[in-house]
């Protein structure tokens, strides 16, 4: 499989076979993830690999509870129901053989510091950070991981939905690295047969502009 074929074959997988993913395979995917570009090469990522089914499923319970708690903010029963209707989307990592937790730290921008010290307006400072470079670097690494996993015969799902429970998740898994926060997670395993197909894309005419 070449890179183009891996890009085309990758799709989000939310149901997995009960098969262990060997540690050396996960390490290979992570090594390839870290080949990604990152802003000023700060490599502001950190990965925590969970392979214990009990912990993974407890994490799904924690995300559900957190989602329910957030749902209490909704003022009507109808809104609470709509809020809860996406819970499967946030907990599809339940029963996955592995989940890779992706942590990120701040992108240190020297010019931000200089301009702030020189009393730049908040508008100028906001413009500097609006590309969210730290998050973009994390996304590049995750995509590399997904493509490597596809090439190696695994299914994945890139997820940010469960991160609202990051505080409770950190207590569960006992991970606390100062300066790092949970940005996303990747459900990983051998895909079940007949998982949902990749949804169609918007036509290029809708999303591309050439300026000659």
Contacting ligand FMN (CB under 6 A), which of 34, 43, 51, 160? 160
Residue 89 in the binding site for ligand FMN (CB under 6 A): yes
Residue 96 in the binding site for ligand FMN (CB under 6 A): no
Residue 84 in the binding site for ligand FMN (CB under 6 A): no
Cβ at position 78, least distance to ligand FMN in Å: 23
Count residues near ligand FMN (CB under 6 A).
13
Cβ at position 196, least distance to ligand FMN in Å: 7
Cβ at position 202, least distance to ligand FMN in Å: 11
Residue 132 in the binding site for ligand FMN (CB under 6 A): no
Instruction: Please state the three-class secondary structure of the chain as a single string.
Output: CCHHHHHHHCCECCCECCCCCCHHHHHHHHHHHCCCCCHHHCCCEEEEEECCHHHHHHHHHHHHHHHHHHHCCCCCHHHHHHHHCCHHHHCCCCCCCEEEEEEEECCCCHHHHHHHHCCCCHHHHHHHHCCCHHHHHHHHHHHHHHHHHHHCCCEEEEECHHHHHHHHHHHHHCCCCCCEEEEEEEEEECECCCCCCCCCCCCHHHHCCCCC
Contacting ligand FMN (CB under 6 A), which of 16, 45, 47, 90? 90
Q: Would you say 46 or 184 has its CB closer to ligand FMN? A: 184
Cβ at position 116, least distance to ligand FMN in Å: 29
Residue 198 in the binding site for ligand FMN (CB under 6 A): yes
Q: Would you say 199 or 203 has its CB closer to ligand FMN? A: 199
Q: Which helix (H) or strand (E) holds 65?
A: helix 53-71
Contact residues for ligand FMN (CB under 6 A)? 11-12, 14, 89-90, 92, 157-161, 198-199
């Amino acid at each position: 499989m070449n890179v183009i074929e891996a890009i085309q074959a990758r799709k989000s997988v939310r149901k997995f076979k009960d098969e262990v993913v060997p540690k050396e395979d996960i390490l290979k995917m992570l090594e390839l993830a870290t080949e990604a570009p990152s802003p000023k090469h700060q490599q502001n990522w950190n990965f925590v690999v969970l392979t214990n089914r009990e912990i993974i499923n407890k994490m799904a319970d924690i995300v559900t509870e957190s989602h329910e708690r957030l749902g209490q903010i909704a003022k009507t029963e109808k809104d609470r129901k709509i809020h809860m209707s996406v819970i499967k989307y946030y907990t599809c990592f339940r029963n996955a053989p592995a989940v890779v937790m992706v942590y990120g730290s701040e992108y240190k921008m020297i010019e931000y510091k200089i301009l702030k010290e020189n009393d730049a307006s908040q508008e100028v400072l906001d413009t500097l950070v609006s590309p969210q470079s730290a998050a973009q670097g994390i996304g590049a690494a995750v995509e590399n991981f997904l493509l490597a996993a596809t090439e190696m015969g695994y299914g994945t799902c890139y997820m940010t939905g469960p991160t609202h429970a990051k505080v409770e998740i950190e207590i569960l898994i006992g991970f606390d690295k100062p300066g790092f926060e949970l940005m996303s997670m990747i459900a990983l395993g051998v895909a079940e047969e007949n998982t949902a197909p990749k949804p169609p894309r918007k036509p290029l005419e809708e999303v591309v502009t050439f300026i000659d």
